[in-house]
Amino acid sequence: MNKNQVSGKIDEVKGKIKEAAGKAIDNKEMELKGKIQKNMGKTEQKVGDIKESIKKNI
Per residue in 14-28, pLDDT (tens digit) is 999 999 999 999 999
Q: How many CA atoms lie within 13 A of 48 on its CB side?
A: 15
Identify the pLDDT of residue 21: 98
Report the distance separating Cα 34 and Cα 11, nearest Å: 9
In order of 8, 22, 30, 43, 51, the CA distances from 3 in angstroms are: 8, 28, 27, 13, 10
* Regions of the chain short of the pLDDT cut 50: none
Domain ranges of the chain: 3-57
Can you give the pTM of this predicted structure?
Answer: 0.89
Identify the pLDDT of residue 58: 87
Longest dimension (CA), the chain: 49
